[in-house]
Chain A
Amino acid sequence: MPIHIIDRRLNPGGKSLENRQRFLRRAKSLVQGAVKKTSQERDIKDVLEGGEVTIPLDGMHEPRFRREGGTRDMVLPGNKKFIEGDYLQRSGQGSAKDSGPGEGDSEDAFRFVLSRDEFVDLFLDDLELPDLAKRKIAQTESEGIQRAGYTTSGSPANISVSRTVKLALARRIALKRPRKEEIEELEAAIAACTDEDERTELLAQLEALKAKSKRIPFIDPLDIRYRRFETVPKPVAQAVMFCLMDVSGSMSEHMKDLAKRFYMLLYVFLKRRYKHVEIVFIRHTDRAEEVDEQTFFYGPASGGTLVSSALQAMHEIVRERFNPSDWNIYAAQASDGDNSYSDGELTGLLLTEKILPVCQFFAYLEVGESGGSAFDLSDSSLWTLYERLRNSGAPLSMRKVSERSEIFPVFHDLFQRRETAQEKAAP
């Protein structure tokens, strides 16, 4: 009997991928809930590593007719001391272990592992960049160059040697240009030839061949080809994210932590949309400076508070390094809301005249102490100022946050899909 032995190990993997995607699609809302829940427990950095999530099994349950209860009979192995007619205590432990079918093997939660991409996708799935950003992306296109075949005219620098030689070879073969070896052979024959008549004849042949090879050039201008390039519009695929933060003495570690979490989310979000994301950290007291991340979050600083200094610094950096036509600019400002009274007007002016016109999105996050009911009492000076600006039509997003757990909902709220956002705005 013939036996076939087949090595299947090299078959393409991922046979179950399609089914897995269907499962995720179906369980989307459940998985998303689980992802959000997990993400609140973890550090934001770790969140992006994907990993195990647990969803309630109930949501993906496949029902069957199952029987339960009633009188049960079972045959078990391992009798040690029972004799017919004994009674075993039901609730008692030990001897009368309840081991009927259907018990203990049902799990109420379903655990499985998500890949990093799946996790981030689900994490950010119902979020979208604001409309403004989209319009900008469509407009701010730059020209890119890409290869587009060959052409018969062009600059010498663009000659395609291989294509040219190929065409020349084809032409030489087609026109039967004598090859070098043929001529050499003939010459050798002439040299070896003794008979005068034959020699004359061979010489004539040689002449004809030589003339032919002169007539048919090795490379003809007809053969020459140039590489052709085309310019294509290329959407801008880079973004810069400005993190502005007040680091004056009134900002506590807790507040900075809140801000940090928000920045991280924004970074992840941008990273998913843009190939290249730069981050600029600007911290300010009554002066602003561009710093590295470590200093930004942990470096000590003290002084008064002038928000306009940070905006001015951002404006200068944008002008120097990030041309708005090449870069999508996002900014998020975190502050406890303090600003010196005299600075209000300048801040407002900078924001509306300089910053907002070049920004895709500007978010202001007012952070407060944990358990911060203080927000309800009165609005801070910065909040009042920004609110006034927003009411007069400036595209500002602003939220207040005082608890770690609020960060994600607030972020969500800021970037939720357009339709729902508009609905909310309508009434």
Chain B
Amino acid sequence: MTGRLFEGADWDFHTLQRITDACEEVALKDLGLDVYPNQIEVITAEQMLDAYSSVGMPLFYKHWSFGKQFAYHEASYRKGLMGLAYEIVINSSPCISYLMEENTATMQTLVIAHAAFGHNHFFKNNYLFKQWTDAEGILDYLDFAKNYVMQCEERYGRIEVERTLDAAHALMSHGIDRYPGKKTLDLRAEEKRAGRRRQHEEEVFNDLWRTVPAGKSKTRSALSIERRRKLLGLPQENLLYFLEKSAPRLAPWQRELLRIVRHIAQYFYPQSQTKVMNEGTATYVHYRIMTALHQQGRITDGNFLEFLGSHTNVVFQPEFDDPRFSGFNPYALGFAVMQDIERIVTNPEDEDREWFPDIAGKNDVMGVLRDVWANYRDESFIAQFLSPRLMRHFRMFHLHDDPEERAGIRVDAIHDDRGFRRVRRELARQHDVGYIDANIEVVDVDLSGDRRLILHHHVIKGSQLNETDAKRVLQHLADLWTYDVSLIEVDANDKVLREYVVSPRPIPAAVA
């Protein structure tokens, strides 16, 4: 074996190169990972703050909300309320990892193992990322988006563009296709398409058409409800998509902006569904790599202890009555489940054989884990692999809080034989985006009448929308739709709980 990778805490670029090579050897040979080419960039704290405010991406279009983010992060960072992340990694090919310059050599090793191999493998192999993101094209697409927004600002004015983007951002969480469509996303083609469309418009522009008298409009009553819904593709839960395709009075550039915001939301959609898995994978991988390097004698005992210090901080799970508690720590949960899978695969107990007959005692740890990483998301991952032993370890319990119940909050299940399955199901559900996001869809448009857009919110467990926010979002929606919009909250029995109606604001004269 070659000697130490580094001594002490200092590093230079040769050290980074050696570290990366050593990590790569372990990752590819021992763990059998499959990664995108790596690109490692060293950045300063200020650049890290910059990255924070543009959702971690190296380039992004300009918008005031990112400035707000930046101001906020900067203030809390300066006051010492917030530490900065050690790294940021981008799901792109090549996979870009940003490392903070302040990190010690040990931390750089940890971070490279974590991001450049752990996250990287997950990005490349998980089915959600394969389905919904285009790692090859994302940076080019963001570049296109940035330039497109800039051009729009030049052509149509900053305020107009800002208004459209504000509205699009408000609807961003409902601008996602949740079910795989006909084709996978090709962001490079997107960019070309937008260019072609504009060119076509310019080529075929003929002012004469404006003066041609319009024929008699078709009788709308002929459109049956079914046909109308089919034509408009209803019901539609992707509100941004619906507006882009069907809003009657949007300019082409506004549709393109909606499309950009929609694509970006879609790009981040897998990340929100795989937080536990993604961090768990990266943590598991860095743990394995660091341990291997230590065993090979390539990092010293002292450095390894430093690593263990940070590692335990990362996977620390405070208990529910701890003031530091703020939900399950995805690093802790993900890492624990993956280590538990390792144990089940290599050294199962009877309980494990009963609960996990497929993997118990299979002895191929990495084979099983690679399969898990590729084919699950948080919800299904927890539902499948959270073992009774781990539930006991975390001492999990399930609370059911029904406001109607006078006696208080009921403890519905605890970590015992009766409760294991219920606790597990409930925890899985907490990680299901289908459950977390409000289920809102466009159901109809009153085409023969006042063109009102009708949306339904299917209320689950009596949890309705926050009123002030709902009104504001609907206002944005109405401004884009340019006619009235109504949102009806219905419960499982189709009982109407509440109805919002919002009219579009008249387009104001430019407000400075």
Contact = CB atoms under 8 A, between A and B. Distances in A.
Interface string B36-74: 011111111011011001100000001111111011101
A67 interface: yes
A70 interface: yes
Given A63-B472, A87-B407, A79 B66 contact: no
A174 interface: no
Nearest to A10: B44
A75 B38 contact: no
B203 to A, nearest CB: 34
Interface residues of B, number: 101
Contacts of A26: 64, 162
A63 B64 contact: no
A423 interface: no
A418 interface: no
A118 to B, nearest CB: 11
A60 interface: yes
B71 A23 contact: yes
Given A67-B464, A67-B466, A99 B412 contact: no
A105 B419 CA distance: 30
A378 interface: no
A420 to B, nearest CB: 15
Nearest to A4: B39
A16 B67 contact: yes
B35 to A, nearest CB: 8
B288 interface: no
B395 A71 contact: no
B173 A64 contact: yes
Interface stretch (A109-117, A215-223, A357-365, A391-399): A109-117
Given A3-B38, A77-B319, A23 B64 contact: yes
B30 to A, nearest CB: 16
A389 to B, nearest CB: 38
B408 A78 contact: no
B414 A79 contact: yes
Interface string A78-89: 111011111111
B42 A8 contact: yes
A64 B94 contact: no
Contacts of A66: 438, 465-466, 469-470
Contacts of A101: 327
B24 A1 contact: yes
Interface in A54-98: 60-80, 82-90, 92, 94-97
Nearest to A60: B68
Contacts of B468: 63
Nearest to A15: B50
Contact of A71 (B397, B440, B462): B462
B29 interface: no
Given A16-B53, A23-B64, A62-B170, A9 B403 contact: no
B191 to A, nearest CB: 22
B27 to A, nearest CB: 10
B395 A5 contact: no
Contacts of A90: 408-409
A22 B43 CA distance: 25
Contacts of A425: none
B377 interface: no
B408 A88 contact: yes
Contacts of A83: 411, 414
Contacts, number: 260
A45 interface: no
A97 B427 contact: no
A4 B397 contact: no
Q: What does DSSP make chain B's interface, helix, strand, loop or mixed?
A: mixed
A4 B173 contact: no
Nearest to A80: B395
Interface in B136-162: 162
Given A22-B67, A85-B411, A99 B320 contact: yes
B462 A13 contact: no
A179 B465 CA distance: 93
B399 interface: yes
Nearest to A86: B411
A7 B317 CA distance: 35
Contacts of A181: none
A208 B430 CA distance: 103
Contact of A82 (B66, B397, B426): B397
Task: Choose among A4, A62, A76 the residue with the greatest number of B CB atoms under 10 Å from its CB.
Answer: A76
B321 interface: yes
Contacts of A4: 38-40, 94
Contact of A99 (B20, B325, B465): B325
B371 interface: no
A24 interface: yes
Given A3-B37, A85-B411, A76 B464 contact: no
Given A23-B71, A70-B461, A78 B395 contact: yes
A84 B317 contact: no
Contact of B78 (A15, A63, A92, A113): A113
A155 interface: no
A276 interface: no
A6 B400 contact: no
Contacts of A65: 173-174, 437-438, 440, 457, 465, 469-470, 473
21 contacts: A3-B39, A5-B13, A5-B39, A13-B47, A15-B50, A19-B63, A25-B64, A26-B162, A63-B472, A64-B173, A65-B465, A67-B464, A67-B465, A71-B400, A77-B317, A79-B397, A84-B413, A87-B411, A88-B399, A94-B321, A110-B72
Given A13-B46, A70-B461, A73-B400, 7 more contacts: A2-B37, A3-B37, A65-B437, A71-B400, A72-B401, A112-B74, A113-B71
Interface of B: 13, 16-17, 20-21, 24, 35, 37-44, 46-47, 49-50, 53-54, 62-68, 70-72, 74-75, 78, 94, 98, 101, 162, 166, 169-170, 172-174, 317-322, 325-328, 394-405, 407-416, 418-419, 423, 426-427, 429-430, 437-438, 440, 457, 459-466, 468-470, 472-473, 476
